Chains A and B, each alone.
Chain A
């Protein structure tokens, strides 16, 4: 991937829908001549940095493009570290495109590639790699957590953690060098004690980071809530209920939903992707079978899995491989519901109730999160113990618990941390088992290399490509 030199221009806000405002940025120019031309200002009027000016923007012949506000940021005090102008224009995507086209054609500003503004910020040391990665998260986050984690990346919290890791490892390396080069001066006993101390501190740091880098990243960034169950169990009804609108087609015909439907559900500031899946049943029909396979896959990948059961139905799918966090019994308004529910629990499907990973980790027993819903509203009943929670509460609780562990949100970091973890254990294991210092120090260097990589001391073009190419609107 090759980024250009010289001035670049791009629309910085969303161009997919109309909005009141749209922002265009230009970065990397030497002087303001072009801006004087564009605004028709006289050259003897100064344009002060960090002042907002209202102006019209016109083509060379005087044809008006738009009116709006522009602000000049003088490098290095700008986002990119270079001279930068930010235009607030009317938000019509067509207009914004015309504006950018005009700047490109008249002043030879290159159109910025995705990520190019951030790349310049990185290049000019306005952001470090972790911050860029954090910015990436913020721009692309689908969850409040992603936003927050991105913010942490930007505010350097993660980077500080990594710096601690690095400086602690320096101490360990120092001990090894002391043992090899200065044992006569310092005395080995003293070095061994020092080493023990630093090894245990480092171990704690890396184990903590390792724990925080485990678990499914997509659960964090785009948490999915899936509804699965037999055909006609009432999944789509529940889906509509949760969304509070008639999104899915509901009928009493088995197999009405053949493809999955997904919508976003905002709960307490978090954004969940809720998915209604095709009902499970034995079928010979090709298209329906594809839908069912898809349902099973969605169930597997989901962060929160809701099994929907009509206790009056004969179950006609294979429960093998289905896991769930909560089970919802529908049709609670019908006569004989309790009986049917009891029958279901003790029937062949009952076993999965025991094996399901139920509960949002709030101390419910395996039978805890059982809900019942009738057609006329989510009449919900909590587990035998504890206060009454709604289904939404359980989803939130499970999510809160997940993010309370301060997970590391960046994929690259997760790989590298796990590398450091493995290499550290190989190194420390060898430290306790052999006296061969050259081997020990060679393993020690491997840990250092990985730590450097975590700090962003890598050139591996792939890493950067990966980051910058994943920017959607990060111009």
Chain B
């Protein structure tokens, strides 16, 4: 059971070290948790290890991506900080999946790591959040006070505690056969969760993630690599950033490729690879394999993309995306130099893998509060996710709920059919982690609806319910008002089949006009790009709306029919999805496979939908449960 140590009153307590909420860990999850909690007017402390800037980016220098871009915009609509930091430090903006239809498009921003972290320091520093740089040795839960965090010289008391310690729980770094304790390069190690808390269950398996070597700028031959420029049209993330403007100078990324020589070298050093010689036991993400994984698991492939990305405008290092590795230093050097453009490459920081402990998120509720220890929240990589965006999304949910629970208000729970953050949180607390969790659009069942463009539409009721009054709240309200107006314009503007309309349709490439047709119907035509055309039509009639708004309306109108049909068809499906099941009675069945039972027992699904989403559940089991509903 959970270890409770009685707080002794004799000990001297500095009252300034008394907080409503303590956030432990100053990474992306922690910063977001502190930032949102602080908006509720409660006393928030952000405790982080000395020597590292807030919201620093220890791996790739980018924010956003497919599925993740949606999360960043969701954070923006909910009043978070990440989108603002990304815009302030963005040195390249791109729209991914540009040719694949509006609904699956996502934004990704290459960031200047230094500017990103500096901006976080500055903004958090100006807020009323207390930033404390200290090393916590132990945590105790106290019935009267909440949580007591002890460092060498201080005791910190928080009524609620949000743990966002990333990869620092029993972190261990590997480069070849060199193993050092720690959560990341050149930082101190932290204790394991077991040492901090005796009652919190971590997963039996450890997770592993890795990062590539950083290359010195002057040693790269950019001339022979394929440049990838920034896209000037891509919208900023933050509502407050002016459309079409960038804070920093925009720069290129570069594309090069591995070849047979590269892979041959890696394959020849299999015995020296910690992942393959047994030195690393942790489970790495399949979707983000190291170069060793790529070389050994896919022997038929002879080349892989390597994106060479700047880590900052003034930083000396480049990040070669796609070749994370924990091979010995000399092997890293050798294989790197077989890659075109990197023949003379000099390594500033060697690649490494990190193994760490992960909290068993099946013990978390959908507010990210621990079910056995009231007032204790977890968010970020400590929950077994990977990615800055996933961490930030959870941080926001955990931070908001910590504050809401202090104020006795209704918790913030985002439904999975309305947001990617909702998808992630539900996946986390209803499914056992087999590997680090990353968001893909494939994890959502409502991809047509959960888009970047309509984020405010999806999430403003949830932000509004928090009862706060910040610039974002005014912006959201205004956006919704204008959205409704413009949508009405689309539905109530009609074109009659006459010479004037024919000319207009001809000029704009809207197709033919044979009968009375509404503007909305025109935008739904398959040959019409709804965003471009709605913009043009509005400009002609002298109406002025922001790009973001026109985009949201145009795309919403375009997919309206599909979404309605999907909703209609999902109704009967959802009836089944929402049906309550009694997992105890399922477990009692002697004829179910052992493996299915284990998984069901672990997850304790309460609805058929949750059962269905458990990985590895066989169709026969589902059919069996469905039949007894």
B100 at the interface (CB under 8 A from A): yes
A122-B627, A182-B287, A456-B623 are known contacts. Are A76 and B305 too (CB-CB below 8 A)?
no
- Shortest Cβ distance from residue A223 to the other chain B in the assembled complex, whole angstroms: 32
C-alpha gap A440/B96 in the complex (Å): 18
Which of A89-97, A106-114, A269-277, A457-465 is the contact stretch? A457-465
Question: Does B628 lie within 8 Å of A123, measured CB to CB?
Answer: yes
Set of chain B residues within 8 Å of A124, measured between Cβ atoms: 589-591
C-alpha gap A438/B105 in the complex (Å): 10
- Shortest Cβ distance from residue B256 to the other chain A in the assembled complex, whole angstroms: 14
Nearest opposing residue in chain A for B103, CB measure: A438
Which of B146-154, B342-350, B397-405, B571-579 is the contact stretch? B571-579
Which of B325-333, B424-432, B441-449 is the contact stretch? B441-449
Question: Does B619 lie within 8 Å of A125, measured CB to CB?
Answer: no
C-alpha gap A166/B619 in the complex (Å): 10
B168 at the interface (CB under 8 A from A): no
Question: Does B619 lie within 8 Å of A455, measured CB to CB?
Answer: yes
- Shortest Cβ distance from residue B293 to the other chain A in the assembled complex, whole angstroms: 12
Set of chain B residues within 8 Å of A445, measured between Cβ atoms: 445, 566
Set of chain B residues within 8 Å of A163, measured between Cβ atoms: 619
C-alpha gap A215/B627 in the complex (Å): 29
Set of chain A residues within 8 Å of B566, measured between Cβ atoms: 442, 445
Set of chain A residues within 8 Å of B447, measured between Cβ atoms: 180, 438, 441-442
B440 at the interface (CB under 8 A from A): yes
A180-B442, A446-B569 are known contacts. Are A125 and B624 too (CB-CB below 8 A)?
yes
One of A181, A182, A436, A449 near B101 (C-beta < 8 A): A436
A81 at the interface (CB under 8 A from B): yes
- Shortest Cβ distance from residue A456 to the other chain B in the assembled complex, whole angstroms: 4
Band of interface residues on B? 35 or more
A81-B591, A442-B448 are known contacts. Are A449 and B104 too (CB-CB below 8 A)?
no
Q: Mark B614-629, 1 if CB is under 8 A from A, else 0.
A: 0000011111101111
A183 at the interface (CB under 8 A from B): yes
Question: Does B590 lie within 8 Å of A81, measured CB to CB?
Answer: yes
One of B572, B591, B627 near A129 (C-beta < 8 A): B627
Question: Does B104 lie within 8 Å of A438, measured CB to CB?
Answer: yes
One of B441, B559, B624 near A181 (C-beta < 8 A): B441
Nearest opposing residue in chain B for A121, CB measure: B591
A75-B590, A76-B590 are known contacts. Are A180 and B104 too (CB-CB below 8 A)?
yes
A181-B66, A439-B562, A449-B569 are known contacts. Are A457 and B440 too (CB-CB below 8 A)?
no
A434 at the interface (CB under 8 A from B): yes
Question: Does B100 lie within 8 Å of A449, measured CB to CB?
Answer: no
A180-B97, A438-B103 are known contacts. Are A464 and B440 too (CB-CB below 8 A)?
no
Set of chain A residues within 8 Å of B612, measured between Cβ atoms: 457
A125-B591, A182-B287, A435-B99 are known contacts. Are A456 and B445 too (CB-CB below 8 A)?
no
Interface residues of B in 435-459 (CB under 8 A from A): 440-442, 445, 447-448
A177 at the interface (CB under 8 A from B): yes
Nearest opposing residue in chain B for A132, CB measure: B627
Q: Mark B304-344, 1 if CB is under 8 A from A, else 0.
A: 01000000000000000010000000000000000000000
Set of chain B residues within 8 Å of A436, measured between Cβ atoms: 100-103
Set of chain B residues within 8 Å of A122, measured between Cβ atoms: 624, 627-628
Set of chain B residues within 8 Å of A455, measured between Cβ atoms: 619, 622-623
A180-B442, A438-B448, A442-B562 are known contacts. Are A123 and B573 too (CB-CB below 8 A)?
no
Q: Mark A166-183, 1 if CB is under 8 A from B, else 0.
A: 100000000001011111
Set of chain A residues within 8 Å of B626, measured between Cβ atoms: 456-459
Nearest opposing residue in chain B for A159, CB measure: B620
A437-B104, A455-B619 are known contacts. Are A177 and B440 too (CB-CB below 8 A)?
yes
Set of chain A residues within 8 Å of B375, measured between Cβ atoms: none
C-alpha gap A456/B608 in the complex (Å): 14
Question: Does B103 lie within 8 Å of A460, measured CB to CB?
Answer: no
Interface residues of B in 278-311 (CB under 8 A from A): 287, 305
Nearest opposing residue in chain B for A174, CB measure: B442
Question: Does A179 lie within 8 Å of B100, measured CB to CB?
Answer: yes
Nearest opposing residue in chain A for B526, CB measure: A434
Set of chain B residues within 8 Å of A382, measured between Cβ atoms: none
Interface residues of B in 585-617 (CB under 8 A from A): 589-592, 608, 612
A163-B619, A442-B566, A446-B569 are known contacts. Are A184 and B305 too (CB-CB below 8 A)?
yes
- Shortest Cβ distance from residue A348 to the other chain B in the assembled complex, whole angstroms: 51
- Shortest Cβ distance from residue B210 to the other chain A in the assembled complex, whole angstroms: 16
B67 at the interface (CB under 8 A from A): yes
Set of chain B residues within 8 Å of A284, measured between Cβ atoms: none
C-alpha gap A265/B356 in the complex (Å): 76
C-alpha gap A218/B17 in the complex (Å): 82
- Shortest Cβ distance from residue A286 to the other chain B in the assembled complex, whole angstroms: 48
A128 at the interface (CB under 8 A from B): yes
Question: Does B590 lie within 8 Å of A435, measured CB to CB?
Answer: no
Question: Does A435 lie within 8 Å of B623, measured CB to CB?
Answer: no
Nearest opposing residue in chain B for A461, CB measure: B629
Set of chain B residues within 8 Å of A182, measured between Cβ atoms: 287
Interface residues of B in 545-569 (CB under 8 A from A): 559, 562, 566, 569
A180-B104, A435-B100 are known contacts. Are A76 and B619 too (CB-CB below 8 A)?
no
Interface residues of A in 116-155 (CB under 8 A from B): 122-126, 128-129
A63 at the interface (CB under 8 A from B): no
Set of chain B residues within 8 Å of A187, measured between Cβ atoms: 305
Question: Does A437 lie within 8 Å of B97, measured CB to CB?
Answer: yes
C-alpha gap A48/B310 in the complex (Å): 77
- Shortest Cβ distance from residue B169 to the other chain A in the assembled complex, whole angstroms: 29
Q: Mark B7-41, 1 if CB is under 8 A from A, else 0.
A: 00000000000000000000000000000000000
C-alpha gap A81/B589 in the complex (Å): 9
C-alpha gap A50/B541 in the complex (Å): 86
C-alpha gap A75/B590 in the complex (Å): 9
A338 at the interface (CB under 8 A from B): no
Interface residues of A in 360-393 (CB under 8 A from B): none
Set of chain B residues within 8 Å of A30, measured between Cβ atoms: none
C-alpha gap A123/B627 in the complex (Å): 7
One of B100, B440, B579, B623 near A128 (C-beta < 8 A): B623
One of A129, A177, A446, A458 near B576 (C-beta < 8 A): A458
Set of chain B residues within 8 Å of A449, measured between Cβ atoms: 569, 573
- Shortest Cβ distance from residue B292 to the other chain A in the assembled complex, whole angstroms: 16
C-alpha gap A445/B566 in the complex (Å): 9
C-alpha gap A126/B624 in the complex (Å): 10
Set of chain A residues within 8 Å of B526, measured between Cβ atoms: 434
A452 at the interface (CB under 8 A from B): yes
C-alpha gap A473/B612 in the complex (Å): 34
A314 at the interface (CB under 8 A from B): no
- Shortest Cβ distance from residue B618 to the other chain A in the assembled complex, whole angstroms: 10
- Shortest Cβ distance from residue B557 to the other chain A in the assembled complex, whole angstroms: 14
A189 at the interface (CB under 8 A from B): no
C-alpha gap A456/B619 in the complex (Å): 8
A185 at the interface (CB under 8 A from B): yes
A180-B441, A182-B287 are known contacts. Are A123 and B624 too (CB-CB below 8 A)?
yes
C-alpha gap A124/B102 in the complex (Å): 47
Question: Does B440 lie within 8 Å of A181, measured CB to CB?
Answer: yes
- Shortest Cβ distance from residue A193 to the other chain B in the assembled complex, whole angstroms: 14
Set of chain A residues within 8 Å of B96, measured between Cβ atoms: 184
- Shortest Cβ distance from residue A340 to the other chain B in the assembled complex, whole angstroms: 63
A438-B448, A442-B566, A446-B569 are known contacts. Are A183 and B623 too (CB-CB below 8 A)?
no
Question: Does A177 lie within 8 Å of B569, measured CB to CB?
Answer: no
Set of chain B residues within 8 Å of A177, measured between Cβ atoms: 440-442
C-alpha gap A124/B621 in the complex (Å): 10
Other contacts beyond A76-B590, A128-B623, A459-B579: 8, CB < 8 A: A75-B590, A81-B590, A124-B589, A125-B620, A180-B440, A438-B101, A438-B447, A458-B576
12 chain-A/chain-B pairs, Cβ below 8 angstroms: A123-B628, A128-B624, A129-B627, A166-B619, A183-B100, A184-B96, A435-B101, A439-B448, A445-B445, A445-B566, A459-B575, A459-B576
Sort A-B residue pairs by CB-CB distance and give the 9 closest, nearest first: A438-B103, A436-B101, A456-B623, A125-B591, A177-B442, A437-B100, A76-B590, A181-B440, A459-B629
